[in-house]
Amino acid sequence: MSAHRAPDHGAGPRPHDASGPHRGPDLGAGRLPVVLLHALPLDSSMWEGTARELRARGHRVLTPDQCGFGAAPLPDRAPSLDLVADDLARELDRQGIGAVALAGCSMGGYAAMAFLRRHPHRVRALALLAARSTADTPEAAAQRLRFADAVLDDAARGPLVTATTPSLLGATSRARRPGLTARLTELALAAPPRAVAWAQRAIAARPDSAAVLRAAAVPAVVVIGAEDELVSLDEACATAGELPEGRLVALPGVGHLAPLEAPRATAEVLAGLLAQAETTAGAGVAAC
């Protein structure tokens, strides 16, 4: 994992302490640190707006780049989200951090579930954004593997990325914020093809996480964009229902990438989760 500080468009594992050079290393001392895990094909900078809001509230925020993205090297090992999870655990050890609040968007959510599976004692609160608890169906996994192959083809990559990337945003964002759509496409085209292929294969191989979530008796929230075209409201509701203390939050006018489309609203949800975790107050399971 590798540290990354980025401008407003947001990037991201080795988790880094995103407190920034203007704040001391004891920022958020005594408070539960929060780790924000990014989506594919972005890096930790996608969390910049949300991280800034959380830091302003005095939270210690770590925004890791995951394998092959941002400043993080791509491992010379078979694709697996377990590698991302264990990489995060080592970085937390390096920084002297024990338990954290863990939030992940899309691929980051799947990495968060892998971390919860392998290091459950270190998760004190959990936020899953645009991520489902189930494994891919055989058809979905095959589609990911085809995408992984295509993204390595120099002739196919550009048209494929340009055609598919806008669907990561909600219809409202696409209509009202063409600059965001253009910027997201630019970032997706700049993503290292080998890293994108590795990540797609790792996601395709992930196991079902329902049992892992059912065992996670920690404050938890599942966030879904009301305009998400990749993960349905029903799927998000089912994921929230697996969590003993889970609740569901649907963000209007938002698609698959809430930290990019609605960074302040995302920060509000996470700040509420952190307050809940720090006061050990439980949350009821959302009625879906």
Judge whether residue 9 has pLDDT over 80.
Answer: no
Nearest to 127 by CA among 233, 279, 259: 259
Helix axes 107-118 and 81-94, enclosed angle (nearest 10): 70
Judge whether residue 158 has pLDDT over 60.
Answer: yes
pLDDT bracket for residue 30 (50, 70, 90): low
Judge whether residue 24 has pLDDT over 80.
Answer: no
Token pair recorded at residue 279: 């006061």
∠ CA 105-107-109, rounded to 5°: 50
Judge whether residue 217 has pLDDT over 70.
Answer: yes
Q: What share of the chain is helix, strand, coil (3-state, %, to 5)?
A: 45, 15, 40
Q: Which stretches does DSSP call E strand in the chain?
A: 34-37, 61-62, 100-105, 123-129, 220-225, 246-251
Distances (CA, A) of 150 to 44, 154, 159, 197: 24, 8, 10, 9
Q: What is the pLDDT of residues 105-138, one digit of tens each?
A: 999 999 999 999 999 999 999 999 999 999 999 9
Nearest to 209 by CA among 173, 251, 258, 246: 246
The model's pTM: 0.88
∠ CA 163-168-171, rounded to 5°: 95
